[in-house]
Structure 1
Amino acid sequence: MHGSFPRLDIGPLSEYREDHIMIARFSDYVHEHQSLVFPHRHSFYHLVLFTEGAGRHTIDFHHFQASPYQVYFMIPGQVHTWDFNDQMEGYVVNFSDSFFKSFLLQPEYLDSFSFLDQDSSNNVLMLAEGIRGQICGLFEELLSQNARATAWRDDMVRVLLIQIFLIIEQSDSVDRKKNAEKGKNATVRNFIRLIDKNYDRLRLPGQYAEMLNVTPNHLNALCKEHVGMQAGELIRNRIVLEAKRLLINLDLTVSEIAYKLNFNDNSYFTKFFRKETGMTPEDFRKSPAL
């Protein structure tokens, strides 16, 4: 499915054609890849800290005004585009899903950070004043370490990135309430992770409850308590998100999108989409979604 939408891999974006990590000054990155204004998805984690300039960027149909000391995080699969008014400066880091997994005992450790989230409204933060100098210093050290051809280079980069994540997570940059909600229940986190992997073929809360070894009623109660919506709504929201991502790809017909999302026919997909969003797929495609 993901191959039908423009998807970027780290290798072609990296000076050294590396597939696991890329670190650069943002102005150099934009100059080298000026074509990255079209909507696209990444196969990797994407982290940007702005220090100068202004403009707009969009992650999964949430629009943000870029400004100095804003930092945004993207996880693999999210759709992104940008439009900058001025010369932008800052730092950009791309790293693969596997970059930390061989380093950390907990494979899902990154999921514990509130800003590495499927909900793109949580992906963009304004750095608290008290940590701006410290965070910029760590990004400078990332650039320095990345330029060294040493056996310990990647481990130093990993340590610096984790330090950046921890400082931001513990700072006033993060909404404490959202952070507490995200880390509160492992079953809900695992449910959301399973939805992301299976939304195109598993549509019923009971199917996920069985995978999680809980009853459907218990799963539903946990979702209402910790994220404020029913389990079925979380599943439907993920299907709608992917439908919107595919609809901005004008090379695909609505019928093709319905097929990719495993709807029996185009009319059923249209009915589902209109019920969830208030508009038809065709109307959404015509709207200024990005």
Structure 2
Amino acid sequence: MDPNSLEAFYTKIAEQDNGATGVMPPADLQREIGHFNVFNVAVLMRRRHERPPMTFDRRAFYKISLIQGRSRIEYADQAVEVAGPALWFATSRVPYRWLPHDQDQTGHFCIFTEEFLLPVKGALAVEELPVFQPGGCPLLPLSPDEHVALAPIFEKMECEMASTYTYKYDLLRAYLLELIHAGQKLQPVSIQTPAHNASARVAALFTDLLERQFPLATPQQQLPLRTAKDYADALAVHVNHLNRALKDTTGHTTTTLISNRVAQEARMLLKQTTWTVSEIADSLGFADVAHFCNFFKRQTGLVPGAFRG
């Protein structure tokens, strides 16, 4: 069983909570497209002292959490301490984990697959939504008023999941979209409203293609695309056109954006795996360890061994 699959998620929750109410997948969801469920954080915290820390990894589903309590959230190569209410959007593309500092945790979270939103006419693909795109703000601190406004959405989800209403999943999709759009309205304006021009379109296609090169799951896996020309060829545009579009929309060159993303993956592999530096260098497309070490030091100021500690 894939340890990051939905099946593994439910198996782990059931083992840790002795089948607590609401943690098993609903039987009627088998008739649905995709998957959705909602959970009460306080219920799942009851047996936390017997539970190992959450693993740092990518999951096979999306997750939106409304949390309140002292905790630490790690995602990609970021780590953020949370002291008050916050809304957190976790994508299946980025590894993450939540580390509560104490038992005094409240809130809700919902999980869903991209297919769950397919029946919504005209809905964007999940990864096209600004809040789930690279460069977005996945963790949003909330004011007391914002927290009060968002909490009832999760409460309605929880209530509806327990109902026998024939069309409850249609209603749950509406609640999920309400939650996503409420979160996007809290995003910085530049992220809320991406420009709809030719350069922005090319930049969006490039970003999607760049993110699809990851994760590198084993040392034997090779990074498929490595240079600006590789990406330009894959997108069927001239490399100069790609570079100009990215410069216009992001302020960075194609090479810089690729290097930044490769460096981010290198940091994650160094911290989260036992791969050797040589294996990481090879998977990321470097000719030898020396070239990788020089690249990594330019990006981070440290050699790989010192960064890994």
Structure 2 residue 141 is the aligned partner of structure 1 residue 141: no
Q: 2:233 aligns with which of 202, 210, 227?
A: 210
Instruction: State the secondary structure of the residue aligned to 1:201.
Output: coil
Whether 1:276 aligns to 2:293 is: no
- Equivalent in the alignment of 1:127: 142
Distance in 1, Cα, partners of 2:52 & 2:156: 28
Q: Corresponding residue for 1:12?
A: 8
Q: Which has the larger radius of gyration?
A: 2
Match of 1:167 in 2: 182
CA contact (8 A) 1:7 1:41 kept: no
Q: Whole-Å Cα distance in 1 between the matches of residues 88 and 244 of structure 2?
A: 32
Contact 2:70–2:101 (CA under 8 A) maintained in structure 1: yes
Measured against aligned partners, the alpha-carbon deviations of 1:230-263 in whole angstroms (never above 9, x if no partner) come to 1111111221222222112243222222233343
The corresponding residue for 1:225 is: 248
Unpaired runs of 5+ residues, structure 1, are none
Q: Given that residues 182 and 189 in structure 1 are in contact (C-alpha distance below 8 angstroms), is that contact kept between their aligned partners in structure 2? A: no
Verify the 8 A CA contact 1:220 1:231 in the aligned structure 2.
Answer: yes
In the alignment, what sits opposite 1:254?
277
Distance 1:240 1:97, change over 3 A: farther
Residue of structure 1 equivalent to 2:82: 66
For residue 283 of structure 1, report the CA deviation from its aligned partner.
1.4
Give the Cα–Cα distance (whole angstroms) in 2 for the partners of residues 12 and 32 of structure 1: 18
Instruction: Assess if the C-alpha contact under 8 Å between 1:10 and 1:44 holds in 2.
Output: yes
Q: Within 1, Cα distance between the matches of 2:307 and 2:263?
A: 11
- Distance (whole Å) between structure 2 residues aligned to residue 164 and residue 285 of structure 1: 38
Q: Distance in 1 between matches of 2:69 and 2:294?
A: 43
TM normalised by structure 1 equals 0.83
Q: Which amino acid aligns with 1:208?
A: Y
1:176 paired residue number = 189
Shift of residue 130 of structure 1? 4.9
- Matched with 1:266 is 289
Q: 1:189 to 1:30 in 2, by over 3 A?
A: farther
Answer with 29-38 or 58-67: which moved more: 29-38
Q: How many angstroms apart in 2 are the aligned matches of 1:267 and 1:29?
A: 47
* Residue range with higher mean Cα deviation, 233-242 or 202-211: 202-211
| CA–CA separation in structure 2 for the residues paired with 1:7 and 1:193 | 25
Asked if the contact 1:10–1:94 (Cα under 8 Å) also holds between the matched residues in 2, the reply is no
Q: 1-side partners of 2:60 and 2:265: how far apart?
A: 15
Alignment CA distance shift 1:143-1:7 (3 Å): same
Distance in 1 separating the partners of 2:246 and 2:268: 25
Change (3 A) 1:273 1:25: same
